[in-house]
Structure 1
Amino acid sequence: MQLHQRINAFTALGRFLRQFAAENPVKNQDVLNNDPYFSEMLQTMQTAKHHNGWFTEDNMRFSCDSWAQALTEENITKWAANYTIPETEPKIVAIVMAGNIPLVGFHDFLSVLLTGNKVLAKLSSNDKHILPLLARYLISVEPEFKNHIAFTEEKLTGFDAVIATGSDNTARYFEYYFSKYPNIIRKNRNSVAVLTGNETKEELQLLANDVFRYFGLGCRNVSKLFIPETYDFDQFFNGMFSWKHLINNHKYINNYDYNKAVYLMSDISLLDNEFMLLKKDTGYSSPISVLFYETYSNLDSVQNKLKADSGKIQAVVSNCGIDNEISFGKAQHPQLWDYADGVDTVDFLLKLS
């Protein structure tokens, strides 16, 4: 199978996913092999929602839309053009996937297949329904993928390299268990926002998307703010108000009530807008419904702290000239070449041959 065949297949998958970005999906007759899979995808999304209460229809639509935007022929070709991808004997790459947000392991899946290697995927129990269906659709478009994709619930065996994503605790197990294989081991990371107080209302509303999309469960979700010592929180809370509908989600509001009660019983000072809590804290990994914040006297001190803690940080949202910052509202819109943890997955895979 040639590279252009793989690109064409994933481009077709992008068109397939685009249908499910709408609140009321409409079957597109121009999508390849749509008849056997359109209704099944709708049913699978419902199954995923009932299996995992964090996988709301809105969040699954957002995930489908994000991948549809990424999986265009132009984007995939531009991404692949950064590398020399030879047609060599494929390696079997085991992927241990997380399950915190819908299709969170898809980029690794895509990277392994695009480089001509074989996927051996171990799915999280929290996100085990959608990717197998997308794999079957991909195979229907390009049958040669059939021998390149496998899923297992058993102990991983017979692989040449591994990509594993988990918590700091599971990473220690992964590092021990997979130490003799070429590997990428991902740990906990969180994203931050650096504010100056001069942000516009529109920027803060976009920041709300970075905070609340996927209920804040993704590593690219903003979980901490750096703010000036004299920061006025009124404008910030006004920006967050666009996501007030979260109070209607029982899982989210249960977390809000629980965290608020724990903090108040511990006599911890909080800022509260009735659906989110702000807590002054030097940490990065805040609980659901909670945003940590830390004050600064000058931006240089923030820059230095972010560099020192770079191993804990996935993305920095800001508009004040922080190194590698991304714009407000873009945290959950990474490009194909925006690699998790800053580790070039494709480069890693190409070096296996």
Structure 2
Amino acid sequence: MVEWTKDSLLAGAVLAGVLVLTYVNGPAPDPIAITVIALTCATLVFRRRFPIWVLAGTVVGCGIYYPFVGSAGPLLVTFVIALYSVAAAGRILVATASATVSMAAIVLGEIYSPIRHVDNIALFMLVGWLVAVIALGAVRSSRRALVSEAEKRATGDERLRIARELHDVLAHNISLINVQASAALHRKNRETEALEAIKQASKQALKELRATLGVLRQVDEQAPTTPPGLGQLKELVERTRATGLQVTLDGEPRPLPPEVDLAAYRIIQEALTNVTRHASAQAVNVRIHYDDKHMRVQVDDDGRGGEFMTGNGIRGMTERARSLGGDVTVRGSTDGVRVDARLPIGAGE
């Protein structure tokens, strides 16, 4: 709607300017000339929606006006604007061909006309103007394409980020639920504990899902939209302990840039998820420590080490760290597996 209004105002301004200059530069135009001028200028209203048809309309209008109706007045400006619109729409070849054919028609008309309307200097200047207009339109088209590509890339990055968040939330909490459900089937007189752990894990999963999806949908004002961080690390450790795994925590959270805080939490969460699902471990140690420029996260378990496959979880941890300028290494040995992450503290500043 805004573009339609702008083009309508442009068409009106061009019509007014052409009529004024036509009256100033020559005899007053007759009704036929005014009609041709008005119709030709009116086509500019549609220059964004139908640029090629508008270009054709201005060619026809100028082709009727100058040879048959009147030679005074700058009606040619409508053709120049239409030419720019075609080039800005990305139809560079169409714009170039139209300009070439139009210039050829003008030159042939001057050659075979008994009266010279345009001298050589004016012809060269007109060629220069047409080339410049096409070049400006091409620049506009390229800039629009770059902006569109940047928007698509940003959308893709956001989708990847949300997908990574969903993977981490679901993988961790559903793993805990699975472990507790299995325990409930095999532990006598301890079903209540397992069911309580399942309740807490599912509640946390829903909470984090609502926080993640809150980026896309802000409907429920009561829904938590703050992403988790190391402030919730103790709760994460407690939920993991509920599976029977002995988890120790060394180090205290500090205020961090939000991106680093979330990445550190998700890396620890994914590491604990992998221990719960794959390592057959009895104990795991989570350690966080800091220096002037970086924070380090280490997660060591005493489970099954050796060779292991790099799945989505490890790739997700690595991508998170690299996006902030850090790195993650995962090493397996006969004593277990170590996840070692280094994150720059100033990455979010």
What TM-score do the two structures reach when normalised by structure 2? 0.22
Larger relative contact order (Cα-Cα within 8 Å, sequence gap ≥ 6)? 1
Structure whose CA Rg is larger: 2
More helix per residue: 2
What TM-score do the two structures reach when normalised by structure 1? 0.22
